[in-house]
Structure 1
Amino acid sequence: MPSILQERPPPSGRAAAPITDGQRSTTEQALVVAFMALPLLALAAAVPLAWGWGLTWLDIGLAAGFYVISGLGVTVGFHRYFTHGSFKANRPLRIALAVAGSLALQGGVTDWVADHRRHHAYSDKEGDPHSPWLFGSGPVALARGFWHSHMGWLLERDKTNARRFAPDLLADRDIVRVNSAFIWLTVASLGLPALIGGLATWSFWGALTALFWAGLVRVALLHHVTWSINSICHMVGDRPFAARDRSANVWWLAVLSFGESWHNLHHADPTCARHGVKRGQIDISARVVWAFEKFGWVTSVRWPTQRRLERLTKDA
């Protein structure tokens, strides 16, 4: 089956659909800024607050649990499944992955997928929404490019055309419902840790600290890990496989990103379900897909083959 990234040519005589489709409304843009700024402020306050008060083992456990659920929702769900079709999932798992990824507060599933497919279609070229190489290769240009690829692109108001890059999700009624419920899932992502913390300690203070650590700080950490794949993993690192861009492997991000930082192989073979393919390359997301396959929840997994890897290496 051809890669989901291979865009079909337009019918004869028709121009290709535009890359972008209008602009975010003022309300949408304000929400983007809020989703970026509030967790970031919480992260900045985390160290001094942890030193003096307000961090318990319950907070750590809740933060870790919600980080794993929402993080794998992004890496296994939004990325490897919905964007690249690395495997086929049954309906309950498909919905669960869309919900879990939405808890990361990185936007609705349809917008996330459209942006990422656009990134692969134009990786490190004009049209890429978050390449660090769009402004040149000098020190000032790279500093500007790092900011743009890490966070700055989110502040731009142009919207990726989902009708061009994610028509399959727009046609999926289950995913349309999950996507339309993003605000409520945002409330759940922040509210559930607070509810659990409050009930577990039977105190308002327990709810507040759980909201801070397992809600805001957890979201901020996951944001920056995800954004680092866009920025750092296109600037520095190893490039053992042939790719048409500057994607690279960054080992020290592997655990926190659940294997996403083995980025060079991913761009060389985007539909592959496993990104860390060499000995010692930890890829937690791939192990989760493997477990789903063993349970019978997913089929047609695109695992790497030795022949494919050898060809990618020879071409490098």
Structure 2
Amino acid sequence: MTMGALRRSAFRLRTYQPSRWMWLAWIVPVLLVVAAIVVLAANGMRALPSVDDFTRSYPGVSTHPAATPVGVPAWLAWQHGLNAFFILFVIRTGWQVRTTKRPSIFWTRTNTGWLRTKNPPIRITLDLWQHIVFDTLWLVNGIVFYVLLFATGQWLKIVPTNWDVIPNAVSASLQYASLNWPTDNGWAHYNALQLLSYFTVVFVAAPIALVTGLRMSPGFSARFRRLDRVFPLPVARKLHFAVFVFFVAFIVVHVLLVLTTGARANLNHMYAARNDDGWLGVWIFVGSILLMATIWIGARPVVVRAIAARGGRIIHRQR
């Protein structure tokens, strides 16, 4: 090999930048191996007489109040679809805020007079502006959800009311892990593991995301310095990211189970508020995916800048 070829090879090695998606080349096989081990272990445990007796005593569905409503109302189906849309872009914009090292486009509110004096505008990145917009939409949708949830009694389907939810959740976990799905009817009530998962999402993770997000917001942080001692920003950031990871994991598992445990019936419940074998829920779901994909692709910087400019001033950092 000539000296010139050696220099070119050395240059290529120095300038080689591995793709940020290269981690998938090893993490996916590792996850598959771990999943296989979990399935084998769960089936081995269920073959034990004591574990078999346990799953018979606790089939996976906890005791629920007699007043628990049956069915999925139309408002809940719409709320679920809107929430899926908003949370997707909350996650996307949140990841952009976290991973963009040197943002070059900023946004600031345009206000004059009394409002400018009492509440001076703060410059934020365009990614953060997007994140706040989708957070606000998600929050408004969540408030409507909370009101309707308690007004219609649907809260009884996702709030534990009996301590037998714990052993039943363990039993349901074993059934899922062994790929022997729990035999329950989501139209009437959720199994114990679903109940605990939905309770955690609605009443634990979502409020933590809201509180930590507010604590991290530039305007809030600048005006409430006294909170630095009782609720430091680094703590808020760590909690916010932990909730981000939880939501991503929950969505992946949730979608996987919806599609593998009777997709048509599940989608009819969730998107069409119907308990039949029709295809309406499937088509609504497909339509929502196409809509989200279209907006995902269409949300290019030039489009986002044009929308943001209608409510504020766009500032470009000089490179």
The structure with more radius of gyration = 2
Give TM-score scaled by structure 1 length.
0.29
- Specify which structure has the higher proportion of helix: 2
RCO (CA 8 Å, sep 6+): is it higher in 1 or 2? Answer: 2
Give TM-score scaled by structure 2 length.
0.28
